[in-house]
């Protein structure tokens, strides 16, 4: 059958398809896959290793041509024992800290530094951090970059009470509002936009004006940022390009298996909107 022979599939494993970050990422995947006549099969395993293993075995049974792994739960052992063992080309995306193989990434450390510099420039001296209760390696880099700039400034310190941990979701940000307020900070850096957006609602319900009483800064630049009130200031990751770049690299790997492992880095930058303002 001619049609089946020409329709090759690539698997895409994401942690959370409900986060617009991964919707845009998959759009990037599709844009390249389509041109090269590959069909993407997308799976969202919500950080559940069992579910992820199940999807993986299903993909192997269907003899996928390659895998984009945008998930941190995929361990080095699974990659070696299952993916490499079955000779499946793969690309790792930022969250995964497995060192071997091709990967696309952004500089999370630099992104964290950019966020800190923005808040310091606005004159904030007491700054809180809202991060994941189960952070992936890249989130740690992001927060370390942030803290480094704050510490070096000598103007302020972030002690352990100023670091709030919650699930990396809208609900996580929403429920953390009370704790964020209890720090007495005038600005907060959230580990991703989803959390920041949840936090905006939590603050609003407590009568807090953003940015007058509290500046809120996110990370990612998901497309919702332009549609929340106030519009969210963030650090942009080129999400579509990351998906497209990963897929391009994967297809190159599928076609030329003998090349050395490659790492491609993408830039980050500040997107200033209305949720951050001068210290008052
Ligand atoms: O919002 C999702 C997060 O997961 C992003 O910040 C991205 O870097 C990924 O690790």
**Average pLDDT value for residue range 206-234:** 98
Would you say the pTM of this structure is higher than 0.90? yes
Task: Tell whether 280 is covered by a domain.
Answer: no
Task: Tell whether 28 is covered by a domain.
Answer: yes
* 19 and 93 fall within a common domain: yes
Tell me: pLDDT of 2 over 80: no
Higher pLDDT, 261 or 195: 195
**Band of the pLDDT at 214, cuts 50, 70, 90?**
very high
* 229 and 251 fall within a common domain: no
**Average pLDDT value for residue range 247-268:** 89
What percent of the chain has pLDDT above 70? 95
Contacts 24+ apart (CB under 8 A), 40-44: 40/9, 40/10, 40/11, 40/12, 40/68, 40/247, 41/9, 41/10, 41/11, 41/12, 42/12, 42/14, 42/17, 43/11, 43/12, 43/13, 43/14, 44/14, 44/15, 44/16, 44/17, 44/18
* 65 and 176 fall within a common domain: no
Atom of ligand 1 at shortest range from CA of 15: 4
* 99 and 113 fall within a common domain: no
* 156 and 132 fall within a common domain: yes
Ligand 1 site, CB within 6 A: 19, 21, 94-95, 136, 138, 192, 194, 219-220, 237
* 116 and 219 fall within a common domain: yes
Higher pLDDT, 48 or 183: 183
- CA-proximal residue: ligand 1, atom 3 (nearest): 192
Choosing from 23, 138, 217 the residue with most ligand 1 atoms within 8 A of its CB, the one to mutate for a pocket test is 138
Task: Tell whether 232 is covered by a domain.
Answer: yes
The Cα angle at residue 13 between residues 11 and 17, in degrees rounded to 5? 120
Choosing from 16, 18, 94, 172 the residue with most ligand 1 atoms within 8 A of its CB, the one to mutate for a pocket test is 94
Name the average pLDDT for the chain.
91
What would the pLDDT profile of 84-102 be if each residue is shown by its tens digit? 888 889 898 876 666 678 8
* 218 and 254 fall within a common domain: no
Tell me: pLDDT of 261 over 90: no
What count of other Cβ atoms lies within 10 Å of the Cβ of residue 258? Answer: 5
Tell me: pLDDT of 199 over 90: yes
pLDDT for 243: 96
What is the gyration radius of the CA atoms in the chain, in angstroms?
Answer: 20
* 51 and 140 fall within a common domain: no
Give 7's contacts (C-beta < 8 A, 6+ positions apart): 37, 39
pLDDT for 70: 87
Task: Tell whether 18 is covered by a domain.
Answer: yes
Tell me the CATH number at 79: 3.40.50.2300
pLDDT for 174: 98
Distance 239 CA to ligand 1 centre (A): 9
Higher pLDDT, 83 or 163: 163
Higher pLDDT, 80 or 180: 180
Q: Please report which helix (H) or strand (E) contains residue 196, including its range.
A: helix 193-205
* 35 and 143 fall within a common domain: no
Task: Tell whether 276 is covered by a domain.
Answer: no
Task: Tell whether 154 is covered by a domain.
Answer: yes
Task: Tell whether 37 is covered by a domain.
Answer: yes
* 147 and 193 fall within a common domain: yes
* 127 and 210 fall within a common domain: yes
Tell me: pLDDT of 30 over 90: yes
pLDDT for 4: 52
- CA-proximal residue: ligand 1, atom 4 (nearest): 95
Range of the domain at 93: 2-106+238-266
- Domains identified in the chain, total number: 2
**Average pLDDT value for residue range 179-205:** 98
């Amino acid at each position: 059958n001619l049609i089946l022979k020409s329709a090759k599939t690539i698997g895409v494993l994401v942690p959370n398809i409900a986060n617009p970050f991964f919707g845009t990422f998959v759009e990037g995947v599709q844009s390249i896959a389509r041109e090269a006549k590959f069909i993407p099969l997308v799976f969202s395993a919500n950080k559940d290793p069992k579910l992820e293993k199940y999807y993986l075995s299903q993909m192997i049974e269907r003899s996928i041509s390659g895998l984009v792994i945008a998930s941190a739960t995929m361990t080095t052992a699974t990659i070696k024992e299952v993916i490499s063992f079955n000779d499946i080309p793969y690309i790792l995306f930022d969250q995964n800290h497995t060192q071997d193989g091709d990967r696309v990434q952004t500089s999370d450390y630099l992104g964290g530094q950019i966020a800190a510099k923005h808040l310091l420039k606005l004159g904030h001296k007491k700054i809180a951090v809202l991060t994941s209760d189960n952070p992936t390696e890249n989130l740690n880099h992001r927060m370390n970059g942030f803290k480094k700039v704050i510490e070096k400034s000598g103007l302020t310190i972030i002690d352990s009470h100023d670091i709030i941990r919650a699930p990396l979701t809208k609900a996580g940000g929403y429920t953390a509002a009370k704790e964020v307020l209890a720090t007495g900070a005038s600005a907060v850096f959230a580990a991703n936009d989803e959390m920041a957006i949840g936090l905006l609602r939590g603050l609003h319900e407590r009568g807090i004006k953003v940015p007058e009483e509290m500046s809120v800064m996110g990370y990612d630049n998901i497309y919702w940022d332009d549609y929340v009130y106030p519009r969210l200031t963030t650090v942009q990751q080129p999400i579509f390009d990351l998906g497209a770049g990963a897929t391009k690299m994967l297809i190159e790997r599928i076609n030329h298996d003998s090349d050395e492992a490659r790492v491609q880095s993408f830039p980050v930058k500040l997107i200033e909107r209305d949720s951050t303002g001068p210290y008052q």
